[in-house]
Each structure stands twice: as C-alpha cells, then as structure tokens.
A and B are shown apart, each in its own frame.
Chain A
Amino acid sequence: MSTESFPAIGPSIGGPSVLRLVWIYPDLLSTYGDRGNLLILARRAQQRGIPVELTEIRSDQPVPQSADIYLIGGGEDGPQALAAQRLRADTGLHRAVDQGSVIFAVCAGYQLLGTSFFAKGTQCTGLELLDLYSDRGPSRAVGELAGDIDPRLGVPPLSGFENHGGRTHLGNGVSPLARVTAGVGNDGASEGAWRGNILGTYAHGPALARNPALADLLLRWAIGAASLPPLNDLWADRLRAERMAAIRT
C-alpha cells in the first residue's frame, strides 16, 4: 500500500492529506453495525475537505502497517479468539502502533487489545497493546451505557449501548476512558480505556454515531490537529439528548 500523501482539498489542516482508514477483520468482528464507525469517520473527514481511503482487511489478508486509523469491531467468542491469533501472528497492527497510528476498538475488539480475555470458557492471549485484561462477569451487561469522559480528552459525555459478558480490569499503563454514570462498562465504575492514540470502549457497534466529538478526537489524533472546523451535528445532538433523557427516566 502506498504511503504517499496528496494535497488536501478544502481547508488546510496540515499533516498527511489522505486519511487512510482500515477496518480490521469485518469478516470476524462485525456484529452490531460496526461499519458505522468507519462511515462516520470517513464522512466527518470528508466534510472537512480531507480525502479518505477506506480499506477493509479480511482475516486472511495482511494488515497494512501504514494506515492512519484502525477500527476493530465486536464479535462472538469464536471469531474473537481467532482474530487475536491472527493479529498476533500478523504483527502489522503492532508495527502501526509503533508508528503512532490511531486504534479505535469496541466491545470484543476492545478486549482484544488487552493482555488476555475469555472466550468459550478459556483464557486467550490478547494483543498486549493496552495494559488491561478481561474476564467473565457475574452477568451479561446489556443496555444503555453513559459516562463522563476523562477531562484530558476534552469531549462531552459518552453515550452508547453495551452488550457483553466480560469485565475488564485496567492496569497502571492505561487510563479509563470514562467514569460510568449509567450501565456497567469495565466494572460498573470505569468504562473503556485509552493510552496514547489507542482507545477502546464497551459502547458497541456504531459508537461514534452518538459521539461525534469522540470521532473528531480520533481524527485530530490521526492528523495531528489541535482542532477541526465544527460541523452541523443537529441530529446527533438530538439523539444524544434523547438517550441521556431516557437514562434519567
């Protein structure tokens, strides 16, 4: 894959101008509308005049190491374990992280980033990209998930939907993404995790649909911009307000 960049169309933001988005293993990890995150990032970049290149990497293909943002979705136990094996063997993702690429992972994909997780009753080795591990919780966490995001990230509260049986325990090498205000997240208190340009959450599926500011954070990380021109987020704002109100009732 070419690493060449092209001049940006529209507002000049600087940095590499073609934003390369890679969706890892949609054949294994795509259970709950995960494609949404890819589409939302692409759209929000294009609306700022940043050309994007979208690539879907199937589990029998090598992971390119030169993309800007990597997305990992949710999935069932079997595919999750298989994805971990193949990504460990491939090493493309690890090399991308070494180069500062951005990773956004949800649900099973988030668990994968840690040192270990449980699938089909056995402990599986994770990608060891984040200092965390996951085990089985006492019950399945299903429902609305909300939390106040780490103030250092400067984005409004997280709103999402979670559906997972695991619980995730964070080590010292990562920060929680959010403090839970509704739902379970990692353990009922903290939700998700981030370190450097890697961010994971239990808000599953098209998590960025309800969290456009989080999408923009990933874009800013990828292009090295302190800010981006604002967009009209009327419908996302209405959706967020409605979901936040639904939690309170």
Chain B
Amino acid sequence: MPLRAKVASSVSRTAAALSRAAGRGDGSVIGGWIGLKIDPELLAHLAAGRAVALVSGTNGKTTTTRLAAAAVGVLGRVATNSYGANMPTGHTSALAKAGTTPYAVLEVDEHYLAQVLEATSPRVVALLNLSRDQLDRAKEVAMMAQLWQVALAEHPEVKVVANADDPMVVWAAATAGAVSWFSAGQRWHDDSWVCPECGSAIERSDDQWWCAGCPLRRPEPEWVVDEDGVIDPTGAWHKVTLQLPGQVNIGNAATALAVAAEFGVRPVDAVSRLAVVTSVAGRYAQVVRNGRTIRLLLAKNPASWLEAFDMAEQAPTLLSINARDPDGLDTSWLFDVDFSPLRGRQVLITGDRAFDLAVRLEVNDVPFLHVPSLNAAISSVPPGRLEVIANYTAFQDIRAELDRVN
C-alpha cells in the first residue's frame, strides 16, 4: 500500500474510534470520509488483494450482506460494513478497520454500484431487487436499472447473482457477463407492470412473468426458496434455520448461499452459519422494557412495509414515520402501502410525520392511537410483545431511546 494510503487508512481508523468514543455515532462513516479526503484512491488500495462480493438493491441488502459474510466466513476472515454504512466512505472505513482479510462482503447503496464496482474489482455482485424508495431524491426505478446495466456492461468479468423474480433486476443484469439466478419470491409488483425494455405490459402467472411484447421473461433460477429451505443448483434442498423472522429472510439466505458458492463455499457447509446472524444494526433486535418485549423492524419503502407486516406477530404494533433527509422528504408512498393486515391488532402511531400516517390509516380503516413517544406507547399496551415498525430515522430515534441496541 502506498504511504499516502497507509496514512489515510490509519487516520481513518483513529477518526472512527474518536467518533465512537465521543458518542457521536458508531464511527462507520466519519472514518472513511476523512480517509477518502486524504487519499481518494484509498478504497481501491484497501480492496486490492481481497476477493470481494458486493450486495446491492433497494431492500434486504444489510441483512443479506450479514448473511453472506457469515457464509463466506467458512473460508476465512471477512471484512464487511455491517452497520449499513453503504457508500464509499463506509466501505473505506470497513476495510481499513478490518485490516488484512482474504475476503470482503460489502453492502452497496444502489446509486453507488458503478463507482464501487470500479474501485473494488469484485468477484461477485448480488442484485436483490429494485423498487420505489425515497423518490424525491432517488433515481426513479427504471433509471436506476439502466445505470446498473451500464455499470455491468463495463465489467463482464464480474459474476452476477441476481433475482429472477424482479423484472427490473433481470433487465438490469442483461448486460452482465455471467449470471447465477435466484428466486426468492416478490410480494411487491407495483414497479414492474411495464417492460423496461419495450414498454409493453408485463404479464404474471404464479411465479412466472414475461413481457407481452419482447423476449424479456423470468429466467430459470438455479437457487430457489422452497418452504423453509433453499434448493441449490444441484437440486439439493437445505433447511434454513435463522434467528431472523419472515419469509423474506429465507430469500436473503438463498442469496447469501449463492454469493458464497461463487467463492467455492458449499451450501451444506455454509447453511448452519447463517443462524449466527441475530439482529442487524438493531433490525429485528428484541429489548425488554417494563414487561414488554419490544421488537424492532425497519421498513423504509412500500415493498419493505409489506415484508414487515408479514414478519410482525399478531400483537400490539407501533408505527413510526419520519421524513427527514435520509428518509426522503415525501410521504406520498404511505398510500402505496396497504395497511389492512394490521386490522385487528392494537395500532399506535408516532414520529415526525404521524399525521400523514393518521390520514392514511383512516382511509385504510385501521383504527389507531397517536402517542408522543416510544415510552408512551409502552405504557399504552398490555405486558407482552410490542412490535415496532419504523422507517429509517424513526428507527434510529427508537434505537437511541433503547440505548443503541444492536
């Protein structure tokens, strides 16, 4: 590593430690930011010599990264940005902090995929899904898919592991050199009614989909979620036991196994390691307060809200919505979510934008109680489980109230 990169790397580690010590955050971004100021090539230097996998998509990337890191861990030490700091600064911090490792599994914000592909020369890129997310600032879905296409076309040497059930992902991967397809199911279809290639309607029947006007259609997946297990490309079924709730996480596990397989890890060796992942940066964490077992679920956009309703138990549920910069300033997406699965549960609402949610729930015929804080919610529900579903900064606020649980 050149001297400049060494200095940058060391300063980056120190800054991260200072940030943590000062209680200003978990240090996963600030360190990388300072490091990249000193050496813009730092990320490339830090990635050199490691076998790298990137994980990107709208939803599930933090969890899938954790699971994939656990699976690749069969082979040796893995560097990973496990706090969800998924931009180049976060990658730089993670690699600097990890020191020398043979492997790295990095979660990448979908907007930065091209840049991080360029910097880290990965062996594998996993593409999970693309759906509407923070539209007042994010690229619209089709535009994002096109950016991925362009980025992958420039790196035909990269093996892509991609979701056969998401037409936008399949189209994005059309320019890839080689693809290993997985099927994890998809509840959310509202961003793929129209073919991104030709504009014709996308038809669906059972788990199949195809374009009515051009050859784009669901590729035959090699990795398939089947009940509580995963079928691998040889046809063998592996039971998946996770500490994480929901069918969506079985899908994330399938993706992780597919990524690890590209490093030569056999699913039979990796599958048991997936159970070590408990909570991910506070997601799925359980905390007991005043006799209430509080579980935290993060839901950032319409597709992930649908998954959260599936994961949550039939129990009192607190919903918290903010619309600060990291969340996107626009709350319109609330009307893309059907909250009716919550009917029959005791629903409480809070957060900066609780009134937007109130109007939405009223139209959805979901009765609710507005509370000013998590503590007020806790004292409003009987002892037992309290599910908390929140979007990004609302989730962080609640996590802070619960002392930064991981």
A contact residues vs B (CB 8 Å cutoff): 26-28, 30-36, 39-40, 43, 58-60, 76, 78-79, 82, 142-143, 161, 163, 204-206, 209-210, 235-236, 238-239, 242
Write the nearest CB–CB distance from A75 to chain B, whole angstroms: 9
Name A26's closest neighbour in chain B (CB-CB).
B193
Interface segment among B93-101, B245-253, B328-336: the answer is B328-336
- Among B330, B335, B356, the residue within 8 A (CB) of A35 is B335
Partner of A32, one of B135, B329, B358, B364: B135
| Cβ–Cβ contact B355 & A205, under 8 A | no
Contact B199 A163 (CB under 8 A): no
* Alpha-carbon gap, A249 to B358, bound state (A): 23
Number of interchain pairs (Cβ within 8 Å): 86
Residues of A within 8 A of B359 (CB): 209-210, 235-236, 239
B137 at interface by CB-CB < 8 Å:
yes
**B201 is an interface residue with CB less than 8 A from chain A:** yes
Contact between chains at B332 and A204 (CB < 8 Å): yes
Chain B, residues 64-76, CB within 8 Å of chain A (1/0): the string is 0000000000000
**Which residue on chain A has the smallest CB distance to residue B132?**
A31
**Of the residues A40, A59, A163, contact of B363 by C-beta under 8 Å:** A40
Task: State in angstroms the CA–CA spacing of A111 and B339 once bound together.
Answer: 31
CA distance A40 to B334 in the complex (A): 13
- Could you tell me the distance between the alpha carbons of A26 and B194 in the complex, rounded to whole angstroms? 10
Check if B332 sits within 8 Å of A239, measured CB to CB. Answer: no
* Chain B positions within 8 Å of A205 at CB level: 330, 332-333, 335
Number of interface residues of B (CB under 8 A): 29
| Nearest residue, chain B, Cβ from A39 | B363
Q: Among A26, A27, A235, point to the contact of B358 (Cβ < 8 A).
A: A235
CB distance B336 to A35 under 8 Å? yes
Q: Could you mark each residue 127-141 of chain B with 1 if its beta carbon is under 8 Å from any beta carbon of chain A, else 0? A: 000001001110011
Report how far A112 CA is from B295 CA in the complex, Å.
Answer: 46
A-B contact sample (14 more), CB < 8 A, given A33-B336, A35-B335, A161-B330: A28-B194, A36-B360, A39-B335, A40-B363, A59-B201, A76-B142, A78-B199, A142-B137, A143-B329, A163-B135, A205-B332, A206-B334, A209-B335, A209-B356
Which single member of B142, B332, B358 contacts A78 (CB below 8 Å)?
A: B142
- Max chain A Cβ within 10 angstroms of own Cβ: one of B143, B201, B355, B362: B355
The 24 sampled A-B contact pairs (Cβ below 8 Å) are A27-B193, A32-B135, A32-B330, A33-B333, A34-B335, A35-B335, A36-B332, A36-B335, A36-B363, A39-B335, A59-B201, A78-B142, A78-B194, A82-B194, A142-B136, A142-B137, A204-B332, A205-B333, A206-B332, A209-B335, A209-B359, A235-B359, A235-B362, A239-B355
Contacts of A40 in B (CB 8 A): 363
Chain B 334-376, CB within 8 Å of chain A: the 1/0 string? 1110000000000000000001101110111000000000000
Nearest residue, chain A, Cβ from B196: A78
Most-contacted residue by chain A among B136, B333, B335 (CB, 10 A): B335
| Interface contact B355-A242, CB-CB below 8 Å | yes
**A33 CA to B329 CA in the complex, in Å?**
14
* A30-B190, A32-B135, A238-B358 known; A206-B335 Cβ under 8 A: yes
Contacts of A27 in B (CB 8 A): 193-194, 201
Query: Are B194 and A163 closer than 8 Å at their CB atoms?
Result: no
Q: In residues 119-163 of chain B, which contact A (Cβ within 8 Å)?
A: 132, 135-137, 140-143
Closest to B200 in A: A60
Cβ of B195 to closest chain A Cβ, rounded Å: 10
Q: Which of B142, B199, B329, B358 contacts A82 (CB under 8 A)? A: B199
Q: Bound state CA distance, A236 and B359, in angstroms?
A: 6
**Bound Cα distance A239, B334 (Å):** 14
Residues of chain B contacted by A31 (CB below 8 angstroms): 132, 135, 140
A242 to B332, CA, bound (A): 16
On chain B, the residues within 8 Å of A206 by CB distance are: 332, 334-335
Q: A residues within 8 A CB of B135? A: 31-32, 163
Complex A-B, nearest 3 residue pairs according to Cβ-Cβ distance, in ascending order: A205-B332, A33-B335, A36-B335
Taking CB as reference atom, which chain B residue is nearest A78? B199
For residue B338, which residue of chain A has the nearest CB? A35
Residues of B within 8 A of A43 (CB): 363
Of all chain A residues, the one with the shortest Cβ separation from B337 is A33
| Chain B residues within an 8 Å CB radius of A34 | 335
